[in-house]
Amino acid sequence: MTTLTAPAPRKLELKNFKADVAPDWCPGCGDFGVLNVLQKACAELEIQPHELLVVSGIGCSSNLPGFFRSYGVHSLHGRALAFATGAKLANHALTVIATGGDGDGYGIGLNHFIQAMRRNINLTYIVMNNEIYGLTTGQTSPTSEQGMTTKSTPNGNLEQMLNPLALALASGCGYVARGFSGDPKHLLKLYMDAIQYPGFALVDVFSPCVTFNKQNTYHWFRDRVYRLEDNGHDAGSFHGAMERAMEWGGKIPIGLFFRNPNPRPSLDKLDPALQDGPLVGKPSGLSAEQRRELVAEFM
């Protein structure tokens, strides 16, 4: 008698997460590195594409789900985290990754950013921070430096730049990191750790806009960034993380700023309605006719 055994599942590769549509960003855009490293991270973690959802808002960076083979949603301006929250709570078995830019996430979407961290939604948020509005051709964003000359500030930006890492720490984010798309090996480790973190995880990524931001270039960042882990930083110290988050100027830290040594439960772990499995797997209580009528109403 011959016993048949199921073949071992094939190891996932970066190509398994490449969509049929090729990225159409400007040549040299930092977002290419963000995308490639994210595809590699998902392959290394062996996340099946059908068990992964990538959600974005609006902006150059928010086109990313269209270049990524998984479930994906290109949602509304500033609303990526609102949509990702609903998707995660409807099916908390999914791995959910939200992506976007500094204008989308730290401007119009700032309140959703704070609330998602406060609620501790179990998802990863990757922000491609180029310190400019790229899609609308070069206006100041919330993270543009004071004094920066742009289309909207020809005499220099009068406003103080937003500090997303300090804000994340103050809002209760349990995993706070910053990477640089020009250092993909370092960024890969941050992505993998963030995706595996049991709660809201932020990875702010310096992703140079080569077309509209002529100040914060690859060269500018390479002259300034240094790795926190090479300087004895304690990622378990909240106060140490806040101190490093405030650094800006001649030296700018990248790496893991803070990982809560005693992570609080994510919202899906606390909600009694989610303890028996994902909501999408539960019976709706509707007849086939009622379902057809509901679908027809939204068509």
CATH of the domain at 92: 3.40.50.970
- Please report whether residue 86 resides in a domain: yes
At residue 3, the pLDDT reads 57
Residues spanned by the domain of 179: 14-297
Domain count, the chain: 1
Residue 254 in domain: yes
- pLDDT band, very low/low/confident/very high, at 281 (cuts 50, 70, 90): confident
167-172 long-range contacts (CB < 8 A, ≥24 apart) are 167/113, 167/114, 168/113, 168/117, 168/202, 169/238, 169/241, 169/242, 169/245, 169/257, 169/258, 170/242, 171/113, 171/114, 171/117, 171/118, 172/117, 172/118, 172/120, 172/264
Are the CB atoms for 149 and 168 separated by under 8 Å?
A: no
pLDDT in tens, 5-31: 555 567 899 999 999 999 999 999 999
Does 146 map to a domain? yes
Q: Is residue 8 part of a domain?
A: no
Q: What is the per-residue pLDDT across 90-99, written as a single tens digit (0 to 9) for each?
A: 999 999 999 9
Two tokens, residue 146: 């004071």
Count, residues in the chain: 299
| Domain assignment present for 211 | yes
Confidence label for 184 from pLDDT (cuts 50, 70 and 90): very high
Query: What is the per-residue pLDDT across 57-84, written as a single tens digit (0 to 9) for each?
Result: 999 999 999 999 999 999 999 999 999 9
Asked whether residue 9 is assigned to any structural domain, the reply reads no
Q: Does 5 reside within a domain? A: no
The predicted-structure confidence for 195-243, as pLDDT tens digits, reads as follows: 999 999 999 999 999 999 999 999 999 999 999 999 999 999 999 999 9
Handedness of CA 178, 181, 186, 189 (dihedral sign): positive
At residue 11's C-alpha, the angle toward residues 9 and 17, to 5°, is: 115
Q: What is the pTM of this model?
A: 0.93
Cα-based distances in Å from 18 to 37, 62, 69, 71, 94:
12, 16, 5, 12, 19
